Structure 1
Amino acid sequence: MLPGSIQITGETLSGAEIKDICDSLKENSVRLLSVRGCQLSDRDFGRVCRGVSESHSLAQLNLNLGVVSSIGRTKQLADALKANRSIQTLFLHGTPLLDAGLITLNAALSTHPSLVSLDLGDCMLGDEAVRLICGMLPPDGAKSGLRELTLSANPAITTKGWARLAIAVAHSSQLRVLNLDYNPLGDQIAGMLAVAVASSRTLEVLDLEGTELTNQSAQVFLDMVENYPTCLRVLVLAENAISPELQQQISDLLSEGEEDEEREAEAHAGGYREKPTWLPHSSKG
């Protein structure tokens, strides 16, 4: 039997439901487990974590919207992730982690052999957390590192933290998708990110929706995609003080670049294009 999925949202989970989840995890019959926004006792959360630690089939774990509600639960999740070898995508969006929580999770996240997609949006993170996250974006092929990172809505991160992240992104050997929407970045930080994008050999998607940018930032990105080769294919600039014309110009140029690459790939492969082995799991689709 192929592994399936368990998806529950916003419910109070009973002991019987938790037992079913744990049994499925231990039987390796679950590939996707999502209990976003659900209420469960500390004892039952511990049972789920033990099930996660024993599962060999689980690829995606969604604990969004406050399921990991205490430092005690954070420690239990860290222990589960240390034992687990199969999870590729972890969603913790809307979890009150703070820097202390990420410090607790850091060893498990940074050494996990399969994790490639991590959502830490709206987790109340600061500069210390960013420093640790940069360690998950290694600059060479020694270890795989993250391919998709979401840091949406973490307004406590300062310019120093964003600058550190920009440097890591510039040298990351794996990162494909970076979601920074709804952070008060402003034009100065956007300029740093433009340099990181220009330097990156892998970044394809950058989400800067609602990040307090102006036409000044858009002009920098326009100059970059117009005059320099880049892997970037999608740049989200909605809900900023940027003219629709500038947004359209950037979008058109990125689309042209993608079409040119597709034609080149097809020509080299005699009309055959191999499908990518990994696809982004972004919660924004």
Structure 2
Amino acid sequence: MLPGSIQISGETLSSAEIRDICESLRENSVRLLSLRGCQLSDRDFGRICRGVAESHSLAQLNLNLGIVSNISRVKQLAEALKTNRSIQSLFLHGSPLTDAGLALLNPALSIHPSLVALDLGDCMLGDEGINLVCGLLPPDGAKSGLKELTLSANPGVTAKGWGRLAIAVAHSSQVRVLNLDYNPLGDQVAGMLAVAVASSRTLEVLDLEGTGLTNHSAQTLLDMVENYPTALRTLILAENSISPELQQQISDLLSEGEEEEENEAHESPKFRCPNRHQHTQMSNILSPTCSTDPSSQMVLVTSGLGESLLAETEM
């Protein structure tokens, strides 16, 4: 039987339910475990962590919305991740980790052989936490590192921290999705990110929704997409003080890049490079229907690209 999924949201879990979940983990019958916003005792959380450590089938673990609520749970999760070898996506959105908690998790995250997607949105991180995250984005020639990274709603990070992240992204050979929405980035950080996008050979999705951008940074982003071929195909700029005219110009340029890619593939299919990142691919979602509700973030995190990352790793 193929591994299935266990998805529970906002429930208070009994010891019997925890026991069933742990048995499924040990029997390798679970590929996706989501307990977002659930209530469970510290003892039962420890049992879940031991089940995660023993599982060889678990590919996606969702503990969003406060499940990892104290240092003791952080330590238990870290121990589980040191043993587990199968998890590819780990979601901790809305967990009060702080920099101290991430420091405890970081050694396990750094050595995990399969992890490609990590959500640390709304985890109360600061610059020290971002420094640790940068270590999960190794430069060319190093181990694979993360392909999808969410750092939404971490207002404690300063421009210095975001600048360091931009440098890491520019030199990373793997990052495809970067979600920085609902952080007070401003135009200075947006300029640094534009340089990172122009330098990156892999970044396909950049979410800058609600990040305090103005026409100044939009003009920088416009110059970037106009003059530098990149892998970028989705740029989210909703809920910023950017004029409709500039947004339309950026949208038009992204659309042109996508059309050129499609025409190239249609006219010369036998000469098309199998590595799609060596071609300019651009599309645009400037004004999506979004909500600040954490559940909407899950839609973005577990998007089609996230599924493709799991499929590629399995292959």
How would you bin the TM-score normalised by the shorter chain?
over 0.9
**2:195 is the alignment partner of 1:195:** yes
Where do 1:172-211 residues align within 5 Å? 172-211=172-211
| Structure-1 residue corresponding to 2:33 | 33
Deviations 1:76-121 (A, max 9, x none): 0000011000000000000000000100000111111000000000
| Structure-2 residue corresponding to 1:151 | 151
Q: 3-state SS of the aligned residue for 1:220?
A: helix
Q: Could you tell me which amino acid in structure 2 is paired with residue 150 of structure 1? A: T
Tell me, in whole angstroms, the C-alpha distance in 2 between the residues paired with 1:272 and 1:169: 27
User: Is the 1:210–1:239 Cα contact (8 Å) retained in structure 2?
Assistant: yes
Q: 3-state SS of the aligned residue for 1:61?
A: strand
What is the CA-CA distance between 1:245 and the residue it aligns to? 2.1
**2:255 is the alignment partner of 1:237:** no
| Structure-2 residue corresponding to 1:18 | 18
Q: Could you tell me which amino acid in structure 1 is paired with residue 301 of structure 2? A: S
User: Is the 1:25–1:54 Cα contact (8 Å) retained in structure 2?
Assistant: yes
Runs of at least 4 residues of structure 1 off by over 6 A?
A: 271-276
Tell me, in whole angstroms, the C-alpha distance in 1 between the residues paired with 2:107 and 2:89: 16
| Structure-2 residue corresponding to 1:128 | 128
Residues 281, 149 of structure 1: alpha-carbon distance in 2 compared, 3 angstrom cutoff: farther
| Structure-2 residue corresponding to 1:60 | 60
Residues 272, 200 of structure 1: alpha-carbon distance in 2 compared, 3 angstrom cutoff: closer
**2:188 is the alignment partner of 1:170:** no
Q: 3-state SS of the aligned residue for 1:196?
A: helix
Where do 1:239-258 residues align within 5 Å? 239-258=239-258
User: Is the 1:148–1:282 Cα contact (8 Å) retained in structure 2?
Assistant: no
User: Is the 1:214–1:242 Cα contact (8 Å) retained in structure 2?
Assistant: yes
What is the CA-CA distance between 1:252 and the residue it aligns to? 2.1
| Structure-1 residue corresponding to 2:301 | 283
Tell me, in whole angstroms, the C-alpha distance in 1 between the residues paired with 2:21 and 2:275: 33
What is the CA-CA distance between 1:262 and the residue it aligns to? 3.2
Q: 3-state SS of the aligned residue for 1:206?
A: strand
Tell me, in whole angstroms, the C-alpha distance in 1 between the residues paired with 2:77 and 2:262: 41
| Structure-2 residue corresponding to 1:111 | 111
Q: What count of residue pairs does the alignment treat as equivalent? A: 282
Which structure 1 residue ranges, 5 or more long, are not aligned? none
What is the CA-CA distance between 1:281 and the residue it aligns to? 8.2
Q: Could you tell me which amino acid in structure 2 is paired with residue 194 of structure 1? A: A
Q: Could you tell me which amino acid in structure 1 is paired with residue 73 of structure 2? A: R
Residues 245, 29 of structure 1: alpha-carbon distance in 2 compared, 3 angstrom cutoff: same
User: Is the 1:266–1:272 Cα contact (8 Å) retained in structure 2?
Assistant: no
What is the CA-CA distance between 1:284 and the residue it aligns to? 6.9
Identity of aligned residues (%): 78
Say what the alpha-carbon RMSD is for the aligned residues: 1.9
Tell me, in whole angstroms, the C-alpha distance in 1 between the residues paired with 2:227 and 2:46: 53
Where do 1:34-53 residues align within 5 Å? 34-53=34-53
Task: Please identify, of 247-256 and 110-119, the stretch whose mean Cα deviation from structure 2 is larger.
Answer: 247-256
Tell me, in whole angstroms, the C-alpha distance in 1 between the residues paired with 2:12 and 2:47: 15
Task: Please identify, of 153-162 and 137-146, the stretch whose mean Cα deviation from structure 2 is larger.
Answer: 137-146
What is the CA-CA distance between 1:236 and the residue it aligns to? 0.4
**TM-score, normalised with respect to structure 1:** 0.95
Q: Could you tell me which amino acid in structure 2 is paired with residue 237 of structure 1? A: L
User: Is the 1:85–1:113 Cα contact (8 Å) retained in structure 2?
Assistant: yes
What is the CA-CA distance between 1:254 and the residue it aligns to? 1.4
Tell me, in whole angstroms, the C-alpha distance in 2 between the residues paired with 1:109 and 1:46: 18
Tell me, in whole angstroms, the C-alpha distance in 2 between the residues paired with 1:167 and 1:275: 24
Tell me, in whole angstroms, the C-alpha distance in 1 between the residues paired with 2:275 and 2:161: 36
Residues 275, 201 of structure 1: alpha-carbon distance in 2 compared, 3 angstrom cutoff: closer
Q: 3-state SS of the aligned residue for 1:9?
A: coil
User: Is the 1:266–1:273 Cα contact (8 Å) retained in structure 2?
Assistant: no
Q: 3-state SS of the aligned residue for 2:235?
A: strand
User: Is the 1:98–1:124 Cα contact (8 Å) retained in structure 2?
Assistant: yes
Tell me, in whole angstroms, the C-alpha distance in 2 between the residues paired with 1:273 and 1:13: 50
Q: 3-state SS of the aligned residue for 1:96?
A: coil
What is the CA-CA distance between 1:135 and the residue it aligns to? 0.6
**TM-score, normalised with respect to structure 2:** 0.86
Tell me, in whole angstroms, the C-alpha distance in 1 between the residues paired with 2:97 and 2:272: 46
Tell me, in whole angstroms, the C-alpha distance in 2 between the residues paired with 1:181 and 1:250: 18
| Structure-2 residue corresponding to 1:262 | 262
Tell me, in whole angstroms, the C-alpha distance in 2 between the residues paired with 1:271 and 1:226: 25
| Structure-2 residue corresponding to 1:75 | 75
Deviations 1:161-203 (A, max 9, x none): 0110010010001000000000000001100000111111110
